[in-house]
Amino acid sequence: MIPQDHLRNFCIIAHVDHGKSTLADRFLELTHTIDARQMTSQVLDSMDLEREHGITIKARAVRLHYTADDGETYALNLIDTPGHVDFTYEVSRSLQACEGAILVIDAAQGIEAQTLANVYLALEHDLVVIPVINKIDLPSAQPEVVIEELENVLAIPHEEVLLASAKEGTGVPEVLEAVVQRIPAPKGDPDAPVRGLIFDSHYDAYKGVVAYVRLAEGTLHAHDSVRLMASGAESELLELGVFRPQLVPVETLSAGEVGYVATGLKSVRDCQVGDTLTSAEHPAPQPLPGYKSAQPLVFAGIYPINGPDYPLLRDALEKLHLNDASITFEPESSVALGFGFRCGFLGLLHMEIVQERLEREFDLELIASAPSVEYLVTLTNGRGQVRVDNPAELPSPGDVEEIAEPWVRVKIVTPNTYIGTLMELTKLRRGTFESMEYLDQQRVLMQFELPLAEVIVDFYDQLKSRTQGYASMDYEEIGYRPERLVKLEILVNGEPVDALSMIVHREDAQAQGRQLAERLKKLIPRQMFEVPIQAAIGSTVVARETIGAMRKNVLAKCYGGDITRKRKLLEKQREGKQRMKRVGQVEIPQEAFLAILRTDEQP
C-alpha cells in the first residue's frame, strides 16, 4: 500500500485541441503504465466518437506509478477531463477529486475561453494549478506571448510556467516532477469511518454500477459492505480497484486514494454521482458535500425514423443513461414525428454526441426536433408558473401572463480584428455587450449577455465562420428574464407541424417565419398537389410560400434492356420516401426538420 504522503491526485484541464490527451498519453508511456505495443493515440479517449471529434467526453481516471527525482515512487491519480463547454459539469466533478490541476495551453493559440473557465473552476476548488505551455515545437508557437497572457489575465507568475511538447515528449518529465513537488498530498484520516465521493460511474453488465470514488477518509476493504448515504442503497462490494487504466482489483483503498468500487447495484439511481459512499457496518455520521446535479439546458425530441423502433430507442436511452446520468428523457409524441422522447442535454454538442451514440452503438435511425431551452411561463390569474421545454406545448396566448427565458453570459476570446463582426452577430441574437479586455496586443476577451435560445441555434458555427475559426467561447447561466416571446407555428398544407414550432421574440417572428417558410419550400419535395407553407402566430399568418404540384417524375431515358437499373432507381426513390415523415397528405423529408437549426445570417 502506498503511504498517503506519496499520493497525488490531479487532473488536466485545457481548451479543446490544446493537447490534453496527448500529454496524458506521454504520462502513460513515461511511467510504463502502458507498454509501447499497446499504445494507441489518446488512450484515455476510449470512445470512437471521442477520437473522431478529438474531444474527451467522459472523464477517465488512471493511476501512474512514478519514480521521482528524489528516488521515491509516487502513485499519481490522473483524471482526464472533457474540454468542451457542454461538459463543464463533468470537469467540476473531477476537480473535486483532486488537489491539483495541470493547465495546458497551446503555445500557438494562447488562452481561450475554455481555458479561463477551467482555471476559474480550479481556483474555486482551491486546486494548485501547474501551467504548461504545450506544442512549443510548432513553428507558430509563441510561448513568450502566452506567458505574458497568463501573467496579465490570470496573474500566474512566469516562473511557474512549464514549457513542453507533448507530441515530442520534451518537457514532459518536468511536468510529472512538478506534480510531485507542487501538488500537496491528500489529507484525510485512514482510520476514520469511510467517506468516499462518487465522481463518476459506468454500468457494467456483470459488475453492476461501477462507481469512481475518491476516498476522503477511512479505508475500504475488498469485501466490505457499503452504503450510499443519499439513496440509502446498500451492497456487498464485488470488487475494489484502481485504474491502470483498465480496472485492476486491489485489496484496500484508503483515504486520499482514487479508485473504483463494483457495487453490483443494477440501477444508477441507487448510486448517483455526488453521493457519498460509506461503510454499512460503521457508517460515517455526515456525508461529504456533494454536487449540484447537472441541469440540462437544451431540450429536443428524439424520434425513431421507423416507428416500430420506439421500444429500442427507449432501451437505448436507458442504457446510455447508465453511463451518462446528465441525459434526461421522458416519452412524448408528435403529430409529425410519432412517438419519441423529450430529452434534456447539457448543450448542443452533448445533444449531437448522444444522438450519434444512439445511432452507432444501438444501430438506430433517429430524427431530432429543433432544440429548445426551458421557458418559464407565468399563467394568467395567479395560476402559477409552468416550465415548458417543448414549444408545441406552450399554453395558448390567452393563458400566458409572461414568458421568461434563460440567459447566459458568453465569454469570447478573439483576435481584435473580429470585434466588429462579433458585435454584429451578438446584436442579431438579441445580445447585449458587457465588457472587453485585451489579453495581449492582438487578442481580446469579450463578454456578452444573450438569451440561451439564441446561443444554442447555430451560434457557435457562426462564431467560427465569422472569425475564420479563431474565436473561442464559453458560457454560463445567469438566470431567467421575461421577454416578449411568441410561438411561431408552421402549417404545411394547412396542418400545423408541431415539430417545427419555435418560440421566438415577437420582433423577429415575421422575419424568422419568412426565412423558415422559404427554406422549407426548398426542402420539401413537390407533392402530387400544390402545398402551401405558412408561418403563423396564433391565427395570424406572418409568412407564406407555395410549393407547386409535381409535374414530372418519369424514367424517360434510354436504358435499353436494362430493366434492373430502372427498378433499382424506383426502389431508391421509394426508400427515400419511406424515410420521410408524413403530415396529413404531405411527405416531409428529415432535412426539413433540421431547417430550423440553420440561419441565413451571412458573416
Partner 1 sequence: MAGEATARLRSSRGNDAGQAAIGARRATEAASPREPAARCIAERTPRPPVALYVHVPFCVSICPYCDFVVHAGRAARGPGARIEPFLAALHAELDLRADALAAPPARSPLRSVYLGGGTPSLLAPRDVAAILDHVDRRFGIAAGAEVTLEANPGPDERGDLAGFAAGGVTRISLGAQTMDAAELRRLGRRHSPQDVLVAIGVARRGGLASVSVDLLYDVPGQTRASWRGTLRAILDAGVDHVSAYALTLDDPDAEGITGPAGDHLPTRPGARAWRDRARAEQDDDRAADLYADADGLLAEAGLRWYELSNWARPGHESRHNLAYWRHEPYQAAGPGAHAFDGVATRRWNAARLDRYVAALTATPPALPPGGVERLDHETLEAEEAILGLRLREGIEAAVAARPAVAEALRWGSAHGLVEDAGDGRVALTLRGRLLSNELFERMLP
Residues of span 489-528 touching partner 1 by CB under 8 A? 526, 528
Nearest to 207 by CA among 249, 252, 258: 249
Give the binding range for partner 1 (CB under 8 A) out of 34-42, 173-181, 493-501, 572-580.
Answer: 572-580
Identify which of residues 248 and 528 has a Cβ nearer to partner 1 in the complex: 528
Provide, rounded to whole angstroms, the least separation between the CB of residue 572 and partner 1.
8
Provide, rounded to whole angstroms, the least separation between the CB of residue 576 and partner 1.
10
Provide, rounded to whole angstroms, the least separation between the CB of residue 564 and partner 1.
5
Report if residue 553 touches partner 1, rule: CB under 8 A. Answer: yes
Handedness of CA 356, 362, 364, 366 (dihedral sign): negative
Provide, rounded to whole angstroms, the least separation between the CB of residue 336 and partner 1.
22
Here the cell at position 137 is 515545437
Identify which of residues 461 and 562 has a Cβ nearer to partner 1 in the complex: 562
Identify which of residues 37 and 552 has a Cβ nearer to partner 1 in the complex: 552
Here the cell at position 592 is 426539413
Give the binding range for partner 1 (CB under 8 A) out of 40-48, 245-253, 304-312, 545-553.
Answer: 545-553
Element (H, E) at 519: helix 506-523
Identify which of residues 254 and 493 has a Cβ nearer to partner 1 in the complex: 493
Identify which of residues 357 and 521 has a Cβ nearer to partner 1 in the complex: 521
**How many residues interact with partner 1 (rule CB under 8 A)?**
27
Q: Do residues 107 and 146 touch, judged by C-beta distance below 8 A? A: yes
**How far is it, in rounded angstroms, from Cα 543 to Cα 531?**
14
Here the cell at position 44 is 484515455
Binder of partner 1 out of 39, 248, 511, 569 (CB under 8 A)? 569
Identify which of residues 506 and 566 has a Cβ nearer to partner 1 in the complex: 566
Q: Do residues 406 and 451 touch, judged by C-beta distance below 8 A? A: yes
Identify which of residues 40 and 578 has a Cβ nearer to partner 1 in the complex: 578
Element (H, E) at 250: none
Residues of span 524-543 touching partner 1 by CB under 8 A? 526, 528
Angle of the 20-30 helix axis to the 172-182 helix axis, nearest 10: 80
Give the binding range for partner 1 (CB under 8 A) out of 63-71, 105-113, 493-501, 569-577.
Answer: 569-577
Whether residue 245 has a cis bond before it, omega within 30° of 0: yes
Report if residue 550 touches partner 1, rule: CB under 8 A. Answer: yes
Report if residue 484 touches partner 1, rule: CB under 8 A. Answer: no
Binder of partner 1 out of 187, 223, 568, 582 (CB under 8 A)? 568
Report if residue 551 touches partner 1, rule: CB under 8 A. Answer: yes
Handedness of CA 49, 55, 58, 64 (dihedral sign): positive
Binder of partner 1 out of 282, 484, 577, 582 (CB under 8 A)? 577
Q: Do residues 78 and 12 touch, judged by C-beta distance below 8 A? A: yes
Provide, rounded to whole angstroms, the least separation between the CB of residue 446 and partner 1.
41
Binder of partner 1 out of 36, 155, 205, 563 (CB under 8 A)? 563
Give the binding range for partner 1 (CB under 8 A) out of 52-60, 382-390, 398-406, 570-578.
Answer: 570-578
Give the binding range for partner 1 (CB under 8 A) out of 49-57, 512-520, 537-545, 552-560.
Answer: 552-560
Q: What pairs with residue 488 in β-bridges?
A: 502
Q: How many residues does the chain have?
A: 603
Nearest to 603 by CA among 428, 349, 348, 416: 428
How many CB atoms are located within 10 Å of the residue 498 CB?
Answer: 21
Give the binding range for partner 1 (CB under 8 A) out of 302-310, 505-513, 563-571, 590-598.
Answer: 563-571
Identify which of residues 205 and 563 has a Cβ nearer to partner 1 in the complex: 563
The single residue listed with the C-alpha cell 460515517 is 284
Provide, rounded to whole angstroms, the least separation between the CB of residue 303 and partner 1.
24
Report if residue 548 touches partner 1, rule: CB under 8 A. Answer: yes
How many CB atoms are located within 10 Å of the residue 333 CB?
Answer: 14
Binder of partner 1 out of 307, 555, 582, 600 (CB under 8 A)? 555
CA atoms within 13 Å, Cβ hemisphere of 404: 13
Here the cell at position 371 is 432544440
Binder of partner 1 out of 562, 580, 589, 599 (CB under 8 A)? 562
Identify which of residues 383 and 577 has a Cβ nearer to partner 1 in the complex: 577
Binding flags for partner 1, 292-331, as an x/- string (CB under 8 A): ----------------------------------------
Nearest to 298 by CA among 370, 372, 377: 372
* Chain CA centroid to CA 293, Å: 15
Provide, rounded to whole angstroms, the least separation between the CB of residue 547 and partner 1.
12
Residues of span 338-367 touching partner 1 by CB under 8 A? none
The conformation of residue 165, written as its DSSP 8-state character, comes to: B
Provide, rounded to whole angstroms, the least separation between the CB of residue 565 and partner 1.
7
CA atoms within 13 Å, Cβ hemisphere of 499: 31
Whether residue 287 has a cis bond before it, omega within 30° of 0: no
Please name the amino acid found at residue 342: R
The single residue listed with the C-alpha cell 461529504 is 288
Strand order in the sheet with 276-279: 234-236, 225-228, 276-279, 195-204, 208-217, 258-262, 239-243, 247-249
Phi/psi region, residue 22 (left: phi>0; alpha: psi -120 to 50; beta: rest), is: alpha
Nearest to 101 by CA among 124, 66, 131, 72: 131
Provide, rounded to whole angstroms, the least separation between the CB of residue 43 and partner 1.
38
Provide, rounded to whole angstroms, the least separation between the CB of residue 343 and partner 1.
34
Binder of partner 1 out of 557, 586, 591, 598 (CB under 8 A)? 557
Provide, rounded to whole angstroms, the least separation between the CB of residue 551 and partner 1.
4
Binding site for partner 1 (CB under 8 A): 526, 528, 548, 550-558, 560-565, 567-574, 577
